[in-house]
Amino acid sequence: MKVLFAAAEASPFIKVGGLGDVLGGLPKELCLKGVDARVVIPLYSSINDDLKRTMRYIANITVENSWRKSYCGIFEAEHEGVKYYFIDNEQYFMRGNVYGEPDDGERFAFFSRAVLEILPVIDFFPDIINANDWHTGLVCVYLNAHYRLREGFEKIKTVLSIHNIEFQGKFNPYVLGELFGLDTEHKQILMYDGDLNILKGGIESSDIVSTVSRKYAEEILGKEHSFGLHNILKARRDKIRGIINGIDTTVFNPETDGFIKTNYGISTLRNKRFNKTFLQRSMALEEKSSVPLIGMVTRLTKQKGLDLFYEVMDEISELNIQLVVLGTGAFEYEEMMHDWERRRYDKVRGVVRFAPDVASMIYAGADLFLMPSKFEPCGLAQMIAMRYGTIPIVHTVGGLCDTVTPYNPETKEGDGITFQSYNSYDMLDAIKRAIAIYENKADWLKIRKNAMQKDVSWNIPADEYIKMYKELV
Ligand code: GLC
């Protein structure tokens, strides 16, 4: 079976968020299972030079969209058994940002066109194209609109994976022809609520719509979590699937992680404490082993539940804890973290920058890992934390609900602490419950072992993807 993943990011080449991790992990696992899975992403100038040096130039073509005739270089690289293709066009991809450019519509329309145009050149006609999020939603639309009669394209099936339905790619209807190169006969496919909505067009045009957890697949059928698309999805309920993400357990591995002070595994869990001391020292926090250290590695955005802090900041600060938050994002939350640190320098640190090394130090050094997301399609950090024996405290929503089992002191089962409603006092209560478990030696050891033993790899999810693909071909 041949699968081509089209996406805006793929680790290790380029990673802004969880999408990049998925495109780094899933294709690799599929290849190990005998699928010919390949990936195509834009050739961003910000890809680091070492990785760029592994790329080989294949050819260049002209990609036409509307009146534009654009240069499209095609590069190729192999990474850990997976073939990656890179679409080169400096006008579109020689930028500081992956997303958030004023011409994102034009950039990703070009990219989506290019994904289809390169197939005869690379001589790879996949059985399935798996598009990801709105950036590549147009691949599914263009395939039906312009390519079905061309040789090799007739039978290609499409899956559109939604990683976050908040981002839909909405544009003024007037740009349909000018920007996207589509005729009025295709207008209805994209139109929604007065906008051209690329994600909606992708949902309409793909054979299967998948999301990154079972719970999120249910949630987006309702008003609360759909960002307006629930009716569209409800009408297509039969083609929606929810498959939980995994994490790359060779990358996220406390036994080999090069950023942490002392490597450890489940049989050497005692050594985890050296990482706690190291984290405390690096952060200039008091080096006490008895005080529970709570970590967070997050984007500082509304989605991640930071609003909950405003109400209970003082109560949290009064608890016998230390708190280290790493992340960047919205100005107001960055300020909140700076401010909180200033006021409670005895126990709170807000590290407002992007730092994968500090992230590893937190996963390894913290005792508890807080993830109070308002919504969370899957969430990877809670799985990484579990793998590092750091116990997640999560709001039971989306993938957090599917991946974290609340600990039950009676049965000794479970690997995290959960709270049900999106409410600051429920979060506070969960933190207190977590501290209670931390203080009970037997429970604390058990819950950490449970967490580390949990299979958070891509093994099972990849099997589910294969099942879904087989259903299609
Ligand atoms: C998005 C979602 C996150 C998910 C990731 C990968 O970033 O917000 O929950 O884990 O995509 O699918």
pLDDT digits (tens, 9 = 90+) for 3-37: 999 999 999 999 999 999 999 999 999 999 999 99
pLDDT in tens, 245-292: 999 999 999 999 999 999 999 999 999 999 999 999 999 999 999 999
Q: Is 380 in the pocket of ligand 1 (CB under 6 A)?
A: yes
Please state the length of the chain: 473
Beta bridge partners of 412: none
Percentage of the chain beyond pLDDT 70 is: 100
Does residue 354 register a pLDDT over 90? no
Residue 254, Cβ neighbours under 10 Å: how many?
25
Average pLDDT, the chain: 97
Quick one: which of 115, 243, 222, 233 has its CA closest to 168? 233
CA dist., res. 1 & res. 13, Å (int)? 25
Residue to substitute in 19, 26, 210, 456 for testing ligand 1 pocket (most ligand atoms within 8 angstroms of CB): 19
* Distance in Å, CA 391 to ligand 1 centroid: 20
Quick one: which of 402, 428, 431 has its CA closest to 417? 431
Percentage of the chain beyond pLDDT 90 is: 99
Does residue 388 register a pLDDT over 90? yes
Nearest C-alpha to atom 7 of ligand 1 is from which residue? 18
pLDDT band at 318 (very low <50, low <70, confident <90, very high): very high
Q: What is the pLDDT of residue 241?
A: 98
Does residue 96 register a pLDDT over 90? no
| Cβ partners under 8 Å of residue 55, min gap 6 | 43, 75, 76, 77, 86
Pairing of strands 195-197, 191-192: antiparallel
pLDDT in tens, 168-208: 999 999 999 999 999 999 999 999 999 999 999 999 999 99
Q: Is 19 in the pocket of ligand 1 (CB under 6 A)?
A: yes
* Distance in Å, CA 211 to ligand 1 centroid: 9
Does residue 306 register a pLDDT over 90? yes
Token pair belonging to 30: 């599929």
Q: What is the pLDDT of residue 58?
A: 98
> What burial letters (b/e) apply to 336-363, b meaning 16+ CB within 10 Å?
bbeebbeebeebbbbbbeebeebbbbbb
Environment class of 48 (CB within 10 Å of its CB; exposed 0-12, middle 13-18, buried 19+): exposed
Q: Is 163 in the pocket of ligand 1 (CB under 6 A)?
A: yes
Query: Hey, what long-range contacts does 269-276 have (CB within 8 A, 24 or more apart)?
Result: 269/389, 269/445, 269/448, 269/449, 269/452, 272/364, 272/365, 272/388, 272/389, 275/361, 275/364, 275/365, 276/365, 276/366, 276/367
Does residue 136 register a pLDDT over 90? yes
Pairing of strands 368-371, 293-297: parallel
Q: What is the pLDDT of residue 434?
A: 98
Quick one: which of 147, 169, 161 has its CA closest to 64? 147
Nearest C-alpha to atom 10 of ligand 1 is from which residue? 379
Q: What is the pLDDT of residue 41?
A: 98
Residue to substitute in 219, 245, 397 for testing ligand 1 pocket (most ligand atoms within 8 angstroms of CB): 245
CA dist., res. 386 & res. 421, Å (int)? 22
